Amino acid sequence: MSEPEKKPRKPPPKTRLAKALAERIDVHLKRFEADKKINAPDPKYKTRSYYYAHARGMGHRVFIVYISYQGHSMITIDEATAYLAWLDAGNVGRHYEQQKEAAKEAGL
């Protein structure tokens, strides 16, 4: 008797959404890192704002790294959606800069 074929399990919908958001955010981060104007070295310390920057979706969260040796930030799917919309609108910056702008616009 042969073993029934197992279908590969699909990740839960939120996991797929987190990965899709992270992939799109990652494209922006790679562009920022490659752009010499956006990622110009700090005149005093010679450090850059983006260094091996990337985003990954895991579970129900998106992990973002701006500078590889400084660790990651973890944001929710809703926060990642808002951040991506902000990036797609032509803005440049980190997720907390987008959150500050949104709070200021909301009068918080």
Query: In the chain, what percentage of residues exceed pLDDT 90?
Result: 84
Residue ranges per structural domain of the chain:
20-106
Query: Position 95: which residue type?
Result: H
**Rounded Cα gap, residues 90 and 28, in angstroms:** 10
Q: Which of 10-14, 69-73, 83-87 has the lowest mean pLDDT?
A: 10-14
> How confident is the model over 66-79, as a mean pLDDT?
96
Q: Which residues contact 28 (CB under 8 A, 6 or more apart)?
A: 84, 87
Contact, 18 vs 77, CB < 8 A?
yes
Strands 61-65 and 54-58: antiparallel
Q: How confident is the model at residue 2 (pLDDT cuts 50, 70, 90)?
A: low
